[in-house]
Chain A
């Protein structure tokens, strides 16, 4: 589909430019140049299917004038340079100049747009680089503080008030740590520092690892964890895919709400050469108006209440899935739960196998 669009675009562009040229010829001189030119313009435009717009333009110019001249001479039965110059040459030149101006105007617009987009991307990259280095420098001392508080926590049993304060300081430090980790992860993707290593992964194994991590929380909240896997191979970076599953399953557990029989279920299936993975729950769900923005950085649904979160988890999932050329989206009915689905292409694993 992309290949067709890629070729269709310059063709349509060239076709419209030269139709403009023909129309101008017709307007300026209806009986000769325009009509004959049209015979040549349309087949010549077909060239742009195989070449770039610029090449097609050159071919058209090279073809339209000599063929027009030839056809006119044949029609007139003699060589009439005066008519050729007056009836074909002058309006033709004006039409070509106008077409050229039109094309360069469109090109300039497009280039300016591209340039601006590149500048914005570069600015974003720079901001993320700064974020990355700040986070980097903060992590080590913070880890030291948390160690220190943990030490203090173990030796001040005689002062319960102080112990409580230290307990909440540790909770805060853990939150900051989590936030910094996630910020770092986003920064790595947005600066292009993150390189993913694709391999074939066993989805049941990945899920088993994730389930082990959350076993305590699942038991504590009496959540039923189920899987229904019709496709077991998931191509991608194992560490990164685990991060996605951890985020999605972690969210499903975190926002389970007060459902009667809380459930989290994961399913997978093969669909049109892509693997579809779905992580669903019957928790609090996400309001419809917020579903589109839920993957942006620091976005949190309005119904989360006091449940803590950084608002970066889903942004990370999106960055990871997109780095794997996949797509991720959310389906939800507020109050009845939601499911997060992602598609990952199978093609990559085939490439990987042939490597």
Chain B
């Protein structure tokens, strides 16, 4: 089976890099971008299986990036998971309302993530 590819869009280098490394350890290919504009370009060029999108980013925030991702026909179908450190700020239901597949809390929780990755694969088929 070909390893899954995940795109991480987060402005904090420490989060971005550590998440990338944690994913690589699980045999998941990870690429990352530090802002929404780069993230959108990477989503189109890299065609990831899943996007982890930070909510609080300077400039364009996660919700704006999510809207752009969903409007672009090249990447509208890629499932997006909101990646947030603030547990109470984004709820599962509010994320789904705006078109995301769900939320993943920071610090990175491997078992939650792996379930989401599996689910996203199944829905595509």
Contacts and interface: CB of A to CB of B under 8 A. Distances in A.
Interface stretch (A7-15, A110-118, A145-153): A145-153
Interface string A109-145: 0000000000000000000000000001001111111
B102 to A, nearest CB: 13
A82 interface: no
A177 B86 CA distance: 10
B37 interface: no
A151 B25 CA distance: 9
A150 B88 contact: no
Interface string A170-200: 0001000100010011001000001000000
Contacts of B14: 141, 144-145, 147-148
A148 B16 CA distance: 11
Contact of A147 (B56, B91, B93, B107): B107
Given A141-B14, A185-B87, A239-B91, 4 more contacts: A139-B106, A143-B85, A184-B86, A238-B93
A305 interface: no
B91 A177 contact: no
Interface string A237-281: 011000000000000000000000000000000000000000000
B116 interface: no
B64 interface: no
Interface residues of B, number: 19
A143 B107 contact: yes
A238 B25 CA distance: 36
Size class of the A contact interface (CB-based, 8 Å): 20 to 34
B106 A143 contact: yes
A154 interface: yes
Interface string B16-55: 0011011001000000000000000000000000000000
B21 A144 contact: no
Interface of A: 136, 139-148, 150-151, 154, 173, 177, 181, 184-185, 188, 194, 238-239
9 contacts: A143-B15, A143-B108, A146-B108, A147-B14, A147-B107, A151-B22, A151-B25, A154-B25, A184-B87
Contacts of A181: 87-88
Contact of B85 (A139, A151, A194, A239): A139
Closest 8 CB pairs of A and B: A144-B14, A147-B18, A143-B106, A146-B107, A139-B85, A143-B107, A181-B87, A239-B91
A150 B86 contact: no
A239 B97 CA distance: 14
A303 B86 CA distance: 32
A184 B22 contact: no
B74 interface: no
A155 to B, nearest CB: 9
Contacts of A140: 12, 15, 56, 85, 106
A43 to B, nearest CB: 57
B60 interface: no
A239 B93 CA distance: 8
B118 to A, nearest CB: 17
Contacts of B106: 139-140, 143-144, 147
Contact of B22 (A141, A145, A147, A185): A147
A185 B86 CA distance: 10
A88 to B, nearest CB: 67
Contact of B88 (A144, A148, A173, A188): A188
Contacts of A143: 15, 85, 106-108
A36 B63 CA distance: 74
Contacts of B22: 147, 150-151
Contacts of A144: 12, 14-15, 18, 106-107
Contacts of A239: 91-93
A201 to B, nearest CB: 12
Contacts of A142: 85, 107
A185 B87 CA distance: 9
Contacts of A150: 18, 22, 107-108
